[in-house]
Amino acid sequence: MSKHHTKPAGVIMGAAKQLTEFDYGKYGVIVLTEAANSETIGYMEALKSLDTGKYDHDLLLGFDLVLTIFHGWKADFYVPTSEQQLMLWRWVVSASFVQEQIDRNGTCEVDNGKGGTDTGAIYVNGVSSITVYPSAERLMLANHVEGIAFEQLGSEEGADMAVRMYMDFINMQPEKGNWLSEKGREGLSILHDDLIKAVEAGEFNTMPVIH
């Protein structure tokens, strides 16, 4: 697993905590702050922080955490369950997709219904566009990729199948970072084009957005 590319455009601004870097150890991920303070969080806690959106506003920092978790697994400090592997790869695929849309199409500010705005990436299919967010992408993947795999093979084998699919969605290039593979780009484009068609057909009162 290599680090994701670090284009400034790839950051959705607003990350909480001024974190600088991560390291890995026997008992979990070591978080180093700008103030030279450090704390260790368990690998499961680190995974949950990704899944609950803690790094959705700074995807590059999230990718650094992903890389650190992988190093910990490779060193046999922690053996992930199938569910935990799913959680990690789901984050990688969804963040890679959002990252790519930011690099290609930029971002926009959307009313969040709470008196403020959220920054989202823009997906364009050549005719129409929608705003996409990491949390919404994770939900979409869980429903459409994992849901189908579980239905066909059951929870354990379905989880393994979904992880393999997610891995196929990523083209890991050490010199460039992790990008969507052609298969991943095509599959995610189909999902989003279908969503746009559903909206245009009036299946939703408004564009479905999850913040």
Classify residue 166 as exposed, middle or buried by CB count within 10 Å of its CB (0-12, 13-18, 19+): buried
- Summarize pLDDT for 35-49 with one digit per residue, the tens: 778 899 999 999 999
Q: What DSSP designation does 9 have?
A: G
Alpha-carbon distances of 199 from 112, 191, 193, rounded to whole Å: 19, 13, 10
pLDDT band at 205 (very low <50, low <70, confident <90, very high): low
- Summarize pLDDT for 31-88 with one digit per residue, the tens: 988 777 889 999 999 999 999 999 999 999 999 999 999 999 999 999 999 999 999 9
What is the crossing angle of helices 43-51 and 59-74, to 10°?
150
Which residue has better confidence, 95 or 10? 95
User: Rounded to an integer, what distance in angstroms lies between the CA atom of residue 182 and that of residue 106?
Assistant: 21
* Average pLDDT for the chain: 84
Would you state the pLDDT for residue 84?
94
Phi, psi (deg, nearest 5) at residue 109 = -95, 130
pLDDT band at 198 (very low <50, low <70, confident <90, very high): confident
- Summarize pLDDT for 86-133 with one digit per residue, the tens: 999 999 999 999 999 999 999 998 877 788 778 899 999 988 989 999
- Summarize pLDDT for 139-162 with one digit per residue, the tens: 999 998 988 888 888 877 889 989
Greatest alpha-carbon span in the chain: 54
Would you state the pLDDT for residue 193?
93
Would you state the pLDDT for residue 211?
33
